[in-house]
Amino acid sequence: METLKLKRVAIDTYKENVAYLHRDCSVYRSEGFQALSKIEVFPHDDGHPVVAVLNVVDDESITSPGEIGLSEQVFEQLGIAEETEVCVRYASPPQSIKNVHKKIAGERLNDEQYLQITEDIVANRYSKIEIAAFLVACAESGMEREEVLSLTRAMVDTGERMDWGEKLVADKHCIGGIPGNRTTMLVVPIVAAHGLLMPKTSSRAITSPAGTADTMEVIANVELPMDKMRDIVKHQRACLAWGGTAKLAPVDDILISVERPLSMDSPGQMIASILSKKVAAGATHLIVDIPVGKTAKVRSSRDAMELRKLFEYVGDRMGLHLEVIITDGHEPIGRGVGPMLEARDVMQVLENDPQAPLDLREKSLQLAGRILEFDTDVRGGDGYRLARDILESGRALDKFHAIAQAQGLNQQPVQAGKLNRDIVAQTSGKVEAIDNFQIARIARLAGAPMTKGAGVDLFKKTGDTVKKGEPLYRIYAEYPSEFHFAKEAAANHSAYQIGK
């Protein structure tokens, strides 16, 4: 088989693998490739191949006819030196794509079929449109609970798995949808200060203006190599890291890279994503927070109950001690919405600042209390009081500082976005409701979570009285175009409902 010289093309194509062949390349012509064909590139000694989408080049300075160019990501995946001779061939379509077609036709898939899909995804054999097809197929016909279990198992089995060597490894998760709900950054130091093990890995935000990882990143590094994370957990009993770097359930990160631009987040995918990460991270005990409210992800107690049952079904079979708590999700928690503003709220609570948002403090204490009660030495009902003592004594703050320092403090302090605008009440009265979706949307348009200092800072919450012209919240943005979109959205619908 003919070979080509490997070339690194200095183009960053993110999670999309791209290869470049010159139009006059003899391999390109003799194999009958087309632009956007999927090809496999492999070392001559028949090592592990990489799969990439083909772009055809008409400029020899990018890739010459005797070369195969790879974008930065693919080049790293292949992991061999430039100028090495490599072979190229058509990538056979991934075997498991037939399972996706079955799912589109409304069929139910089994353990093996989900495993085949995740194996092909983790080997980069799926293009982004094939991943999109899989996600939409699952979202639309829904997944049987047995299927959610199959996908969860498959996602765990196609990645690395941590073992902490302890009987109780605590974790918590909120299904999201409530802006400002940064309880994790409070629960972790409280629980770790008590002595329970809580090595927390969080995703970045998918459709929200900030995730725990995005917010923690304002204060400290969250991208930790496995060794370093283990070391921190050994000394601190906890960490606040981003799961993506840790090779845990790697399929989850690939799925999220397509879910994010599609703004998708279906129940089956959500539960598989959450539980696979938890199990792979070695969690044994898990609290799941499901906020319910008119503008939350879950709108009725009936839906919350269905979701709870599904969590319990999958969790039990994955060997987790899992408890679901259904919470109030009728408005944002705390004041800040966006990574930097939420980090500020968290620090106020940890510092027992009188200005600290009470709702964030209260909810965090309740969740931490439930986790503390996983400890057989804690009497049922004593968890909340214990958590409050740890917070008020400053031990939680000390623990948080120790964790952040161990992870590496962020050397470039984040400022609130330099552009800002107050949104004011159009009438006087009492705040009756705050639309979670709209607040999240405005914060995202303003640039959160990518721009750390962007977001929304709430001055009024439900039950507060306001006068016409009084500020309801402030929008922060860094870049003019984002500032413009956010202001436009707020002008159309402020998110506040004000009654007499």
Give the interface with a second copy as residue ranges (CB under 8 A): 9-16, 18, 20, 23, 30-32, 34-36, 55-59, 61-62, 71-72, 89-90, 92, 97, 101, 104-106, 127-133, 135-137, 139-141, 258, 261-264, 447, 450-451, 478-479, 481-482, 485
- Residue 406: CB minimum distance to a second copy, A: 29
Which of these is catalytic: 265, 289, 345, 359? 265
Best CA proximity match to 440, nearest among 246, 209, 182: 209
- Residue 282: CB minimum distance to a second copy, A: 31
List the beta bridge partners of residue 172: 287
Sequence-separated contacts (24+) of 33-38 with Cβ below 8 Å: 33/90, 37/90, 37/91, 38/90, 38/91, 38/93, 38/127
- Residue 356: CB minimum distance to a second copy, A: 30
- Residue 49: CB minimum distance to a second copy, A: 13
C-beta closer to a second copy: residue 67 or 345: 67
C-beta closer to a second copy: residue 374 or 485: 485
Per DSSP, the residues of 400-457 read HHHHHHHH-B-SSPPPPPSEEEEEE-SS-EEEEEE-HHHHHHHHHHTTTTTSTT-EEE
Give the CA-trace dihedral at 195, 201, 203, 208, to 10 degrees: 10
Give the rounded distance of the alpha carbon of 277 from its chain centre: 10
231 is known as an active-site residue: no
- Residue 229: CB minimum distance to a second copy, A: 25
Give, in order, the Cα–Cα distances in Å from 73 to each of 67, 93, 416.
Answer: 17, 21, 32
Contact by Cβ (8 Å): 217, 414: no
C-beta closer to a second copy: residue 21 or 188: 21
Q: How far apart are CA 233 and CA 398, in angstroms?
A: 15
C-beta closer to a second copy: residue 42 or 400: 42
- Residue 494: CB minimum distance to a second copy, A: 20
Omega into 449 within 30° of 0, i.e. cis? Answer: yes
Contact by Cβ (8 Å): 268, 142: yes
Contact by Cβ (8 Å): 326, 367: no
C-beta closer to a second copy: residue 259 or 323: 259
C-beta closer to a second copy: residue 139 or 433: 139
Contact by Cβ (8 Å): 76, 11: no
Contact by Cβ (8 Å): 276, 317: no
- Could you list the active site residues? 265
